[in-house]
């Protein structure tokens, strides 16, 4: 990996990180961002328990060899939160109360109708000479301390606060405009990671200044392109898009549910769902989006045969002749909910999630996805030889992806 001559280390404090209670996901976030933005790999990552001597010692050690250190955790109000005290000790400075933070904590508590305790105000105590940054996601502030040539960033351990401060306060201080790397993430459906890799690999040679990476969030796969500048990135992105075509459903932070939602919104159309083996998972994904009521009409969890008949207008004969997991029933479910709801689009999923059940023709892992819309009437059969939870997720994602394609092309 491409490295710049800057040595960055991380320190995480907390007994829970050493007892197997909590995994250090904070560092993962920072490492990802650092690589994306700066092309720098963290040189060493240390985890220490909530012990004064250990924290002080590791701060001294790291400050002696690193240019930048990110210290996470132990800034809270409880007696096991020792980081500010240890930082002061390591730097040989006093602890002082920061009046701006005191005021911020008082205001914050007042707004929530809570009374401030002496413990809470401990969080306003920082090493003398530190630069203090208010933490809008929580009470404990972030502070920055210079120790010799090393700049140390101290941030709270709560993942939400940590990520917010890393993204908005730490990284902008590390990455100058000239150094900023560019990144693009293409999100892909319908290809396994190995297939994606095999397809994209031949492009590597034409783009020597681009780093290609993969990440799986089954059943999605993400292709990450990283480069020093737009001039290197843009042609690689264009080649990948041309190569992968309709498999690419989104870029960057956008989700599959968002793509489906915005397509419906753009058309001014509404959707009704009939979900069997996914038990409402598609609806749960779609309703994560604010404003979903503008385009999602309803979702029926039609788990039994009788529910499929009553709520999705499936014919008893079809169930008897073809079984609940069949092309005919998936088609009737999609058409049925669409008609019952009186909306432009109906979509359905029925399948065997396992571990029991299944037939010879449709073994466990078989799902049928149906979409009915203006000029659209399709059923797709998919087979996912996975465990129950993965089959359900694959089916839900499969249906959203089918909807996406049909919404785009109708």
Residues forming the site for Mg ion (CB under 5 A) = 76, 81
Single out the residue of 8, 11, 12, 263 in contact with ligand ATP (rule: CB under 6 A).
12
Nearest-approach distance from CB 89 to ligand ATP, in angstroms: 17
In the complex, the smallest distance separating the C-beta of residue 78 from Mg ion, rounded to whole angstroms, is: 5
Choose among Mg ion, ligand ATP, none what residue 398 binds, the Cβ cut-off being 5 to 8 Å by kind.
none
Please list every residue from 144 through 173 that binds ligand ATP, using CB under 6 A: 156-159
Please say which residue, 59 or 403, places its beta carbon nearer to Mg ion: 59
Among the residue ranges 67-75, 143-151, 252-260, 360-368, the one whose residues contact ligand ATP (CB under 6 A)? 67-75
> Based on CB atoms, which residue is closest to ligand ATP, 127 or 336?
127
* Candidate ranges 16-24, 106-114, 167-175, 266-274; the one touching ligand ATP (CB under 6 A): 16-24
167 Cβ neighbours under 8 A, 6+ residues apart: 33
CB-count exposure of residue 398 (10 Å: 0-12, 13-18, 19+) = buried
User: In the structure encoding, which two tokens stand for residue 165, read together?
Assistant: 């401060």
Q: Where do the DSSP E strands lie in 148-304?
A: 150-155, 182-188, 210-217, 220-227, 248-251, 271-275, 296-301
Q: Minimum distance between the CB of residue 104 and ligand ATP, rounded to whole angstroms? A: 14
22 counts as binding ligand ATP under rule CB under 6 A: yes
Under rule CB under 6 A, residue 24 binds ligand ATP:
yes
Long-range contacts of 27-36 (CB under 8 A, 24+ apart): 27/72, 29/159, 29/162, 29/163, 29/166, 30/70, 30/166, 30/170, 33/166, 33/167, 33/171, 34/8, 34/171, 34/174, 35/1, 35/226, 36/181, 36/183, 36/226
Task: Note whether 16 binds ligand ATP by CB under 6 A.
Answer: yes
Residue 329 contact, options ligand ATP, Mg ion, none, Cβ 5-8 Å cut-off depending on partner type: none
CA torsion, ordered 15, 18, 24, 30, to nearest 10 deg: 80
CB of 166 to ligand ATP, least distance (A): 11
Whole-Å CA distances, 106 to 81, 97, 171, 391:
20, 14, 28, 50
Task: Identify which range of 21-29, 56-64, 124-132, 357-365 contacts ligand ATP by CB under 6 A.
Answer: 21-29
Binding mask 27-66 for ligand ATP (x = CB under 6 A): x---------------------------------------
Q: Please state, in angstroms and as integers, the Cα–Cα distance from residue 161 to each residue in 31, 83, 135, 136, following that order.
A: 16, 16, 7, 8
Instruction: State which of positions 280-339 bind ligand ATP (CB under 6 A).
Output: none
Q: Does 141 bind ligand ATP (CB under 6 A)?
A: no
Question: To the nearest whole angstrom, how small is the minimum distance from the Cβ of residue 24 to ligand ATP?
Answer: 4
Find residue 171's DSSP bridge partners.
none
Nearest distance, CB of residue 101 and ligand ATP, angstroms: 13
Shortest Cβ distance from residue 111 to ligand ATP (Å)?
18
Helix/strand/coil for 30: helix
- CA distance readout (Å), 99 to 123, 130, 134: 11, 13, 11
Q: How far is residue 67's CA from residue 237's CA, in Å, rounded to a whole number?
A: 34
Q: Closest approach of Cβ 345 to ligand ATP, in Å? A: 41
Q: Which is nearer to Mg ion, 79 or 317 (CB)?
A: 79
- The count of chain residues that interact with ligand ATP, using the rule CB under 6 A, is 21
Sequence-distant (6+) residues with CB within 8 A of 212 are 200, 203, 204, 223, 224, 225
Residue 75 in contact with ligand ATP, rule: CB under 6 A: yes
- Distance separating the N- and C-terminal Cα atoms of the chain: 44
Task: Using DSSP, state whether 302 is helix, strand or coil.
Answer: coil
Which residue's Cβ lies closest to Mg ion? Answer: 76
Q: Does 74 bind ligand ATP (CB under 6 A)?
A: yes
Helix (H) or strand (E) holding 338: helix 327-341
The binder of 297, among ligand ATP, Mg ion, none, by C-beta within 5 to 8 A per type, is: none
The first and second tokens of residue 217, run together, are 């969030």
Residue 151 CB, nearest approach to Mg ion (Å): 23
Q: Using CB distances below 5 to 8 A depending on partner kind, what does residue 156 bind out of Mg ion, ligand ATP, none? A: ligand ATP
Binding partner of residue 309 among Mg ion, ligand ATP, none, CB under 5 to 8 Å per kind?
none
Question: Which residues in the 111-140 window bind ligand ATP by CB under 6 A?
Answer: 140
Cα–Cα distance, 155 to 70 (Å, whole number) = 8
Nearest to 190 by CA among 219, 162, 170: 219
Residues that bind ligand ATP (CB under 6 A): 12, 14, 16-17, 22, 24-27, 72-76, 78, 81, 140, 156-159
């Amino acid at each position: 990996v491409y490295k710049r001559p800057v040595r960055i280390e991380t320190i995480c404090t907390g007994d829970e990180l050493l007892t197997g209670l909590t995994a250090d996901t904070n560092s993962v976030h920072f490492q990802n961002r650092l690589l994306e933005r700066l092309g720098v790999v963290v040189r060493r990552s240390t985890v220490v328990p909530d012990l004064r001597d250990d924290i002080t010692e590791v701060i001294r050690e790291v400050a002696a060899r690193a240019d930048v250190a990110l210290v996470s955790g132990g800034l809270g109000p409880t007696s096991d939160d020792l980081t500010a005290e240890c930082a002061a000790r390591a730097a040989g400075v006093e602890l002082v109360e920061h009046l701006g933070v005191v005021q911020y904590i008082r205001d914050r508590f007042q707004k929530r109708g809570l009374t401030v305790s002496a413990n809470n105000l401990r969080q306003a105590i920082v090493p003398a000479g530190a630069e203090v940054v208010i933490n809008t996601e929580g009470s404990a502030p972030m502070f920055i301390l210079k120790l010799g040539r090393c700049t140390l960033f101290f941030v709270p351990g709560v993942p939400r606060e940590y990520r917010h401060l890393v993204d908005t306060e730490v990284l902008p201080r590390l990455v100058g405009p000239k150094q900023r790397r560019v990144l693009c993430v293409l999100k892909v459906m319908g290809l396994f990671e190995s297939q994606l890799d095999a397809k994209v690999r031949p492009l590597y040679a034409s783009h020597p200044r681009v780093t290609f990476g993969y990440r799986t969030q089954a059943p999605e796969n993400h292709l990450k392109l990283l480069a020093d500048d737009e001039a290197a990135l843009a042609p690689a992105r264009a080649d990948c898009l041309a190569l992968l075509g309709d498999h690419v459903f989104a870029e960057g932070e956008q989700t599959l549910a968002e793509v489906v939602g915005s397509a419906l919104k753009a058309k001014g159309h509404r959707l009704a769902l009939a979900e069997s083996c996914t038990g409402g998972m598609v609806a749960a994904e779609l309703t994560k989006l604010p404003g979903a009521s503008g385009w999602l009409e309803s979702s029926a969890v039609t788990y039994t045969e009788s529910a499929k008949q009553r709520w999705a207008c499936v014919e008893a004969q079809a169930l008897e002749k073809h079984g609940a997991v069949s092309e005919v029933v998936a088609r009737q479910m999609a058409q049925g909910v669409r008609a019952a709801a009186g909306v432009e689009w109906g979509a359905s999923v029925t399948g065997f999630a396992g571990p029991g059940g299944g037939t010879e023709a449709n073994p466990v892992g078989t799902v049928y996805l149906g979409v009915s819309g203006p000029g659209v009437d399709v059923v797709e059969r998919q087979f996912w030889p996975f465990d129950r939870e993965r089959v359900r997720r694959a089916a839900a994602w499969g249906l959203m992806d089918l909807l996406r394609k049909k919404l785009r092309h109708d």
